[in-house]
A and B are shown apart, each in its own frame.
Chain A
Amino acid sequence: MPTDSTSPTKTQPAPLTGGSALVRLGGIGIVLLSVAGAFLYLGGWFTPNALTPARFADEFERVDGIYSGFRRNHAKGVCVSGFFESNGQGERLSKAAVFRTGRVRVIGRFSLSGGDPYVADAPDTVRGLGLLFWLPDGEEWRTAMINLPVFPVNTPQGFFDRLVATQPDAKTHKPDPEKMAAFLASHPETVEAVKIIKSHAVSSGFDNSGYNGLNAFRFIDAGGKSIPVRWALVPVQPFEAASTTGTAQGDKNYLFYGLIVSILQHPLQWHLIITLGQPGDPTDDASVPWPEGRDQMDVGTLTLDSVESEETSPARDINFDPLVLPAGITPSDDPLLSARSAVYSQSFTRRAGEKKEPSAITPSDVRK
């Protein structure tokens, strides 16, 4: 019974016997420990082998080493800026402000895959383009695309296992081919994806390369109707096949220097092409292309007219998280999307607090 503080003696219950007090005390202990245990369970303390963003970042660090202040993947890069000019076509598909006729400011970052920010440029290294569109009402659209036609894996676990298979051997300092063979044996989707990737000609530079979103998303129109989409940037710059002779590759930064020369000569442009999925097209598997003949819509042109070293650009300190989306674009059921968001965030948090070392492409490299 509640105690009346003005007359405590009247309603004070009889004191507990030592035994029953002990039982109650034990009960309280169990309740508190259970609550704390539930909290730790949610935090993954009892499942140390579960895949977590931290384990992904650890594995990137194991494969390529830790470079202070750099992204754990796509570490080597250069920053750009420009604008996106929407032609208004996309408005029928998505209510996102970016598709209204007009211009929005864009910053971005070209990169090469891998965790080594000083790696030598090579034609087969995956090229990335991260973009941030500043929409007029303060919203943002961020996307991170690569030049591959499909993604080599279709689940976070597949990505992790493939990364582990590329880890250099302690003795040889090279990946163990047997590990990769074992990975491929249990991942037929990667075997299929690699066939498509190999059949896709690589261009000579960043400027005449296409960049693909790969993961499916959903566009939501003004009436609330949702359709699955994939997007890609198709270069206006004419295609030229990557040199296989190695002459162009004399400099370890030749791809980045080529981009700088090109962008300083004239603004670079890409068409933003939206591919519309149909019922039955897989939205949860980035390793599989959608069937030929899907409707495609050119919704506008990206123009990049300025290039900067990471050291002077705000884009270095931006996380090109593919799930920073404006109203009108939502994630699909592709499990890679949430994983990318989680792992990018982990990489961003780790590098944020580190001392920033100079980038391979320095401020003096981007001057005319």
Chain B
Amino acid sequence: MTTEQRQFNASMRFLHWLMAAMVLTMLGIGVAMVASISDYHRLVSIHRPLGILILILVVIRFVNRRFSSLPPFPASMSSQERFVASASEILLYALLFVQPLVGWGMLSAARYPIVLFGSVHLPPILPHSVMLYAVLRRTHTVLAYLLFLTFIAHFGAILFHTLIVRDGMFSRMAPWRVRAS
């Protein structure tokens, strides 16, 4: 008897929701800290290690995805929709990988120590160059807004499929286990 896989496996779902919470927190902290005076230091002190944690997790998640079997797209999706969904997934993976690297790189170029916590810190990955820092700092902002917009599109598409098309799109990634009906 063969039953078709309906959901992403438990490890993929766990990583998805863990990272969703972390990335949203990170976007909120990032946009708040650049406008903040009194909370600036506290927020930066969370932003740096959280960014590195996201970098580590996105690599784990990518590898995990390569070794996992995936549920098929719902039959309701046209081939164009499937293409857009796949492309946006690649874009999200790319942003989650590149954005922390740009952050690490820009701190390196500015010669800020990349402190994670206590005396634990990372080495610089780029030479000391304030011009390079200026470019990467701007890039970091642009990528953050792009990441936020990609998230909004992703969230909107899931809501549309789940509430309007009602093809059970959400259940593929639901944090709980969904049994076949």
| Given A324-B112, A324-B113, A342-B40: A28 touches B160 (CB 8 Å cut-off) | yes
Within 8 A of A (CB), among B124-145: 128-131, 133-135, 137-138
The segment out of A31-39, A162-170, A244-252, A272-280 that lies at the interface is A31-39
Instruction: Report chain B residues within 8 Å CB of A28.
Output: 156, 159-160, 163-164
Known: A3-B168, A8-B76, A35-B152. A352 touches B128 (CB 8 A): no
Partner of A51, one of B37, B129, B131, B155: B37
Q: Is A44 an interface residue (CB 8 A)?
A: yes
Find out whether the CB atom of B73 lies under 8 angstroms from the CB atom of A5: yes
Contacts of B172 in A (CB 8 A): 2
- Distance in angstroms from B71 CB to nearest chain A CB is 8
Chain A's closest residue to B42 (CB) is: A338
Instruction: Give the CA-CA distance A338 to B6 in the complex, in Å.
Output: 50
Question: How many pairs of residues, A versus B, come closer than 8 Å at their CB atoms?
Answer: 151
* A346 (CB) vs chain B CBs: closest residue: B34
Please tell me which stretch of A184-192, A312-320, A358-366 contacts chain B, meaning at least 4 of its Cβ atoms lie within 8 angstroms of it: A312-320
Chain A residues 330-368 with CB under 8 Å of chain B are 331, 335, 337-339, 341-343, 345, 348-349, 351-353
Interface residues contributed by chain B, number (CB under 8 Å): 55
Bound complex: CA of A323 vs CA of B113, how far in Å?
11
Q: Residue-by-residue, is A25-58 near B (CB-CB < 8 Å gives 1, otherwise 0)?
A: 1011001100110111011100000111110100
State in angstroms the CA–CA spacing of A156 and B38 once bound together: 8
Check A326 against B119 for contact (C-beta < 8 Å). Answer: yes
Q: B35 contacts which of A3, A44, A319, A339 (Cβ < 8 Å)?
A: A44
Which B residues are closer than 8 A to A by beta carbons?
A: 4, 6, 27-28, 31-32, 34-42, 44, 72-76, 110-113, 115, 118-119, 121, 123, 128-131, 133-135, 137-138, 148, 152, 155-156, 159-160, 163-164, 166-168, 171-172, 178, 180-181
